[in-house]
Amino acid sequence: MPRREYVSFFSDGRRGRRDFAGFEGRPGLSRILLPALAIAVLAVSVWWFGFRDADQSAGRILTLEDATIPTLLLPAGSGNQDALDLASGEFLDCKEVADGWDMFQGSPSRQGCYATNTIASPKILWRTEIGVQGWLNNPVIDNGSVYIGSAGVAQFTADRRDGIYSLDLATGRQNWFYGTELDVNGVAFSDGVVIATGDEGRVWGITARDGERIWSADLGAPTYGNPLPVGGMVIVGDGSGHVTALDPKTGTRRWQVTVDGAVRGGAASDGSMIVMAGENHEVLAVDLTGEELWRVKVQSQGRDAGQARIFAAPTIVDDMVIIGFVRSDVYSEPALAALDKATGTLKWRASDVAGLKTSTWANVRSSPAVVGAYLVYGEAYSNFLVTIDLETGETRNAIETGVYCQAHWPSPLVVNGQAIIPRNDGGLYAVDLASETLAWSIYLSNETSTSGSFPAGFDASACETGNSILASPAISPEGVIVVGTLKGYLVAIGDRGWG
């Protein structure tokens, strides 16, 4: 079976960022050395910006001159959450506030909830051409840099843009590039090291400062999913069902376990246990030493309940593990289930008590975000952002975002009660969860403009094309949202009021 059922993109160019140390010499040498140093710097600058090989850097960068990233940040856990009191008395605060966005969904639990500046009037800050961005090409952010894997000029083929990028968050310009033989999938940041998985069966440890490889580990099968940093380790899954714990500084193997089926989305953790799902609907929980806690086969609803597959990383919240399913048809209930975190026993299967859809509940390939008492995710065969009661699995509401599309891949993020969700139609949408209304939308798939305007005649024909967004977004401490498109661009979105 093919690794993915979609397409993606990215750019090339392997270079290391040069560091120039200052010179402290005898005063008599300064009249000679300082002018010489100035001439050398000028020469390097002319070469750098005028003559270097275009294939050794990120591609086109479109920016807005007035793009400004705010420097005054809201402290973690703050914001307008007190204003998000629903009529029922519930609050839309984070169950767990992510400390940053240095891994997929912001934290090991994969809850995807954050507190920082909220965008009210979106604008594109920059757009950088780097190569195909598919379902697993989810950016992470740390200390003013964006790290992202590329599926290259053409997905599933070896080309010059397969690799790992570091870009400057403020400008979108390339810091460094590490080239690989085949597509790179997920990335994570851990204590100065960028860890990445890829189709050639390797995991890489790359220095975040200059893009130099520290180590690589050959696992013998394509490594998919989003690496999980936890407990001084990094956890990765592969196509043969192995889940391996590696030392992020050296790549040394700590332990390895096996689950039934390819591990596609990655693992999740609450800090004391690690949960992973194999494609063949088996879920395994281990402690931080790799000792098995429980192992279960999980069935979905419908006539092929025992054949449903699992693509997404689990979400851990309270005493539950949330699992999404990929099914062979559409059904009358959402494709989600909750397991007891302590035992793996079934707590609930999702049910459409609100009557949001009839018989067209489709696949859940993404990891839901958690906000207040609800799960939030994008539903396929619709244009819906769906909220589900966390305790019961019952549907609550569906908010329209964009146009009707059959497929949906990205996971949402939630910031101060605003759910951010990319769609297959090429748009990025923000939903105010308190009012259950669309707060704003912006079109990201016009590679020649930074206006963010939706094209004339925008309709369902925008779906299932190169315009789609399959990757999940990241958010910086300043509130800048970064996400990749299928056309091969990484895009940063800010607020018009920031500058």
Q: Is 258 within a domain? A: yes
How high does pLDDT run on average in the chain?
84
Measured distance CA(414)–CA(368) in Å, rounded:
10
The answer to whether the CB of 226 falls within 8 A of the CB of 103 is yes
Q: Tell me the percentage of the chain whose pLDDT exceeds 70.
A: 80
Which secondary-structure segment (H or E) carries 32? helix 27-50
Q: Is 3 within a domain? A: no
Question: For residue 104, what is the DSSP state?
Answer: G
Q: β-strand 336-340 against 346-349: which pairing, if any?
A: antiparallel
Which secondary-structure segment (H or E) carries 400? strand 395-405
Contacts of 315 (CB under 8 A, 6+ apart): 105, 109, 110, 111, 112, 268, 321, 322, 367, 368, 369, 370, 375
**Can you give the CATH number for the domain in which 400 is found?**
2.130.10.10
Q: Is 481 within a domain? A: yes
Contacts of 269 (CB under 8 A, 6+ apart): 108, 109, 228, 230, 231, 235, 275, 316
- If 0-12 CB within 10 Å is exposed, 13-18 middle and 19+ buried, where does residue 263 land? buried
Does 427 score more than 50 pLDDT?
A: yes
Q: Is 12 within a domain? A: no
pLDDT digits (tens, 9 = 90+) for 45-85: 434 333 334 444 677 777 654 455 655 444 333 343 333 34
Mean pLDDT is lowest, of 4-13, 294-303, 369-378, for 4-13
Does 383 score more than 80 pLDDT?
A: yes
| Span between the terminal Cα atoms of the chain, in Å | 49
The answer to whether the CB of 263 falls within 8 A of the CB of 274 is no
Number of CB atoms found within 10 A of residue 28's CB:
8
Confidence of residue 153 (pLDDT cuts 50, 70, 90): low
Q: What is residue 45's predicted lDDT score, i.e. its pLDDT?
A: 42
Number of CB atoms found within 10 A of residue 33's CB:
13
Q: Is 345 within a domain? A: yes
CA distances from 12 to 49, 137, 164, 310, 362 (A): 16, 15, 9, 32, 36
pLDDT digits (tens, 9 = 90+) for 128-151: 999 888 899 999 999 999 999 988
Q: Is 14 within a domain? A: no
Q: Is 120 within a domain? A: yes
Total domains in the fold of the chain: 1
Please name which of 479, 417, 477, 476 lies closest in space to residue 81, comparing C-alpha atoms.
417
pLDDT digits (tens, 9 = 90+) for 313-330: 999 999 999 999 998 888
- Averaged pLDDT, 182-189: 94
Q: Is 17 within a domain? A: no
Does 88 score more than 60 pLDDT?
A: no
Choose between 417 and 91: higher pLDDT: 417
Q: Which two tokens stand for residue 180?
A: 């690989």
pLDDT digits (tens, 9 = 90+) for 469-485: 999 999 999 999 999 99
The answer to whether the CB of 170 falls within 8 A of the CB of 69 is yes
Measured distance CA(301)–CA(283) in Å, rounded:
17
CA distances from 149 to 47, 63, 484, 493 (A): 27, 22, 10, 19
Q: Which amino acid is at 90?
A: E
- Could you tell me the residue range of the domain that residue 356 belongs to? 27-498
Q: β-strand 273-278 against 268-269: which pairing, if any?
A: antiparallel
Phi, psi torsion values for 91, nearest 5 degrees: -115, 145
Question: For residue 39, what is the DSSP state?
Answer: H
Measured distance CA(36)–CA(100) in Å, rounded:
43
Bridge partners (DSSP) listed for residue 227? none
